[in-house]
Structure 1
Amino acid sequence: MNVTRIEEAKPYQAPGHFDMRGLRIQGWDVSDTKKVWVGLSHFLPGGGAAGDVSPVEKIYVVLEGTISVTHDDKEVILGPLDSCHIPPNAQRNILNKTNKMVSMLVIMPYPESKK
């Protein structure tokens, strides 16, 4: 079993993100997961990610706050314990339109280059 204490979680930079602080809580250099990794993203007011397209699917689970996620020109607002799935090769935008911080789990498979 691999346990990651939040105090020991390692920060990471996510490409294309702004006013966001990410913590790696499982996978990559933190644990020996084989298929997926898990990050904890904290979006400051006005923070987000614009126009990213990646070859892997993503699952977002909001823990605290509300955040806008746009996919295929359709915007949804996710609140605490709401989740969404973004398919591979799909463009998405994320934006914290509030004045409060948003915390969100990000669950993604590893890219093919990691396997």
Structure 2
Amino acid sequence: MNTTRFAQAPAYFPPNHDGMHCLRLQGHEAGPSESLWLGVSVLLPGGHTSLDASAVEKHYVVLEGEVCIRTPDEAVTLQQFDSVRLAPGEARQVSNPGNRPAMLLLAMPYPKA
């Protein structure tokens, strides 16, 4: 078993994330994981990522606030406990359009070797 207390979760600093504080809950520097890692991002009002894709799928769950997920084809605003899955290679932009901080859970597999 690997336990990560939220208060001790290590921060990580992904490129092209502005107005966001990202914490690793499982995997990478937060501890062992064979297939996926979990993170939480706190998005300040106006916080966002650039419109980028990754080689693996991503799953997001809004824990607090509201978060807009935009792809080249559509945009959706998610509320608390709403979720979205993005396919491998699907570009996405994440943003907080509201005036309150938002919290977003990310689950993502490790890239295939």
Gaps of 5+ in 1: none
SS of the residue corresponding to residue 53 of structure 1 reads: coil
- How many residue pairs match? The answer is 113
CA distance in 1, matches of 2:52, 2:42: 18
Per the alignment, residue 103 of structure 2 pairs with: 103
What is the rounded CA distance, in whole Å, between the counterparts of 1:83 and 1:69 in structure 2? Answer: 10
Superposed CA deviations along residues 21-64 of structure 1, whole A, max 9, x for unmatched, are: 00001001212110000001000000011111110110000000
Alpha-carbon RMSD: 1.0
Which stretches of structure 1, 4 residues or more, deviate above 3 A after TM superposition? none
Q: Percent identity?
A: 40
1:71 & 1:22 partners in 2: Cα distance? 21
Between Structure 1 and Structure 2, the one with more strand by share is 1
The more displaced of 79-88 and 25-34 is 25-34
Q: Give the match for residue 73 of structure 1.
A: 73
Q: Aligned ranges for residues 81-100 of structure 1 at < 5 Å?
A: 81-100=81-100
Q: Verify: 1:44 aligned to 2:44, yes or no.
A: yes
Cα displacement (A) at 1:72: 3.3
Structure 2 partner of 1:58: 58
Write the distance in 2 (CA, Å) between the matches of 1:57 and 1:77: 19
Once the two structures are TM-superposed, the CA of residue 88 in structure 1 deviates from its matched residue by 0.4
2:25 pairs with 1:10: no
Residues 85-115 of structure 1: per-residue CA shift (max 9 Å, x gap): 0000011111111110000100001123xx5
Q: Which amino acid aligns with 1:111?
A: P
User: Shift of the alpha carbon at 1:73?
Assistant: 2.4
Uncovered stretches (5+) of structure 2, i.e. residues with no partner: none
